[in-house]
Amino acid sequence: MPLHLYILPAIGTGVRGDPRRPKYLGDFVGDQSALDFGFQPVFLVVKDISDADHALLSANGDVFAFPEDLASRPLAAAVPVIQAQLELVQIPADWVNAASQWRDIARTIAGMFLFFQRLNAVWGNVQFLDGTTRTLNTRFNQLDQAQRQALEETSASLGYTVSFSPNDTLRNILKAMADAWGTKPIFLGGITL
Residue-wise pLDDT tens digits, 132-147? 999 999 999 999 999 9
pLDDT beyond 90 at 68: yes
Kindly tell me if the per-residue pLDDT of 61 is higher than 90: yes
How many domains is the chain partitioned into structurally? 1
Predicted confidence (pLDDT) per residue in 108-118, tens digit: 999 999 999 99
* 11-20 mean pLDDT: 90
Indicate the SS3 state at residue 159: coil
pLDDT of residue 100 exceeding 90, the answer is yes
* Residue 168 vs residues 24, 100, 134, 142, 180: alpha-carbon distances, Å: 36, 23, 13, 10, 16
pLDDT at 25 over 90: no
pLDDT of amino acid 13 = 87
Average model confidence (pLDDT) for the chain? 95
Find the angle CA(156)-CA(114)-CA(33) to the nearest 5 degrees: 155
Q: Give the percent of the chain with pLDDT over 90.
A: 88
CA–CA separation, 36 vs 42, rounded Å? Answer: 6
The gap from C-alpha 34 to its chain's centroid, in whole angstroms, comes to 11
pLDDT surpasses 90 at 14: no
Confidence of residue 10 (pLDDT cuts 50, 70, 90): very high
The per-residue pLDDT for 175 is 98
pTM for this one? 0.95
Write out the residue range of the structural domain in which residue 93 sits. Answer: 3-192
